[in-house]
Amino acid sequence: MKTHRRLFPNLPEVRRLGLATRGNTHLPAEAILHAYERGIRYWNWCGYEDGMSRAIGELGKDREKVILATQIQSTERDSLLSEVESFLDLLRTDRIDIATIYYLETREEWTRLREPGGVLETLNELEAEGTIGKVGITSHQRRLAAEIAERGETDLLMIRYNAAHRGAETEVFPIASENQIPVVAYTCLRWGALIESQDSGNSDHRVPTAAECYRFVLSNPAVSVALMAPNNRQELEENLTLLDDWRPLTGERLQAMREWGDWVHDHAGSFP
């Protein structure tokens, strides 16, 4: 499987394994910069002051080698402009490379955001002036995301995809690939359920490592970037072992991962 992907001509080529923070993670700036040195250059920032925000401010000229992505929660023009300005001030940078509308879950929301003078129009204005590089959507709703992609109304899709939630394989990936729209996968561990020890009643089931879960996601060529979101430096180091053994899941191990994902989907608690 490919190690790197160029999402857009005007952005740097990056490794397909990306790094995200969630606001409740405990990665200091030095851990983020360590990931940078290991080649992790797609950073998805949570929007709050944390180790990643501090690391971005410390990059200096190396900022050009990182794709900085974040999610936009504002639903009106004025609040959006204030949100973006506060992000830039906190990050000590002059642009956000990718901004995705955060959690877009209904067609009604999308209709409202697309109204004249609304959020999408404002994001497009910020893109035209260079403050934002590309505009995407983050959603759990695969069919809605696919419809938006098929109509060419987004630059990028940020979609949940893991061994337990594989609907994107048929509902999103073919359309995204056909329309050359990059896909960023999140929740690759299903909030940790895929790597928790659970008695499935099947002795053939082996709980995978986090690295194996990311390997599963990245084995699909339709995925441009898979986001890891380690809680601490130890988890980060465990995830980075994937870089030293970069290969797709195939054969029996791929099938076993799918079977484990099915069991987790059906038995590991409610999840939308």
**Residue ranges per domain, the chain?**
4-267
Question: How far, in Å, CA of 216 to CA of 187, rounded?
Answer: 13
* pLDDT in the model for residue 154: 96
191 pLDDT band, cuts 50/70/90, is confident
Q: With contact defined as beta carbons under 8 Å apart, do 190 and 209 qualify?
A: no
Longest dimension (CA), the chain: 58
Q: Please name the residue that has the structure tokens 């009604």.
A: 108
> Is pLDDT at 210 greater than 80 in this prediction?
yes
Please name the amino acid found at residue 264.
Answer: V
> Is pLDDT at 220 greater than 70 in this prediction?
yes
* pLDDT in the model for residue 13: 98
Question: How far, in Å, CA of 78 to CA of 54, rounded?
Answer: 26
272 pLDDT band, cuts 50/70/90, is very low
Share of the chain above pLDDT 70, in %: 95
* pLDDT in the model for residue 26: 81
pTM (predicted TM-score): 0.94
* pLDDT in the model for residue 205: 66
> Is pLDDT at 200 greater than 70 in this prediction?
no
Q: With contact defined as beta carbons under 8 Å apart, do 72 and 119 qualify?
A: yes
Question: How far, in Å, CA of 33 to CA of 235, rounded?
Answer: 15
Q: What is the rounded average pLDDT of the residues 235-247?
A: 97
Q: With contact defined as beta carbons under 8 Å apart, do 209 and 234 qualify?
A: no
Residues 6+ apart with CB under 8 A from 199: none
Please name the amino acid found at residue 99.
Answer: A
Summarised one tens digit per residue, pLDDT across range 23-53 is 777 899 999 999 999 999 999 999 999 999 9
Summarised one tens digit per residue, pLDDT across range 117-144 is 999 999 999 999 999 999 999 999 999 9
Q: With contact defined as beta carbons under 8 Å apart, do 218 and 167 qualify?
A: no
Q: Which CATH number fits domain 4-267: 3.20.20.100, 3.30.230.10, 3.30.1330.10, 3.40.190.10?
A: 3.20.20.100
Q: Name the least confident of 145-149, 190-194, 240-244.
A: 190-194
267 pLDDT band, cuts 50/70/90, is confident
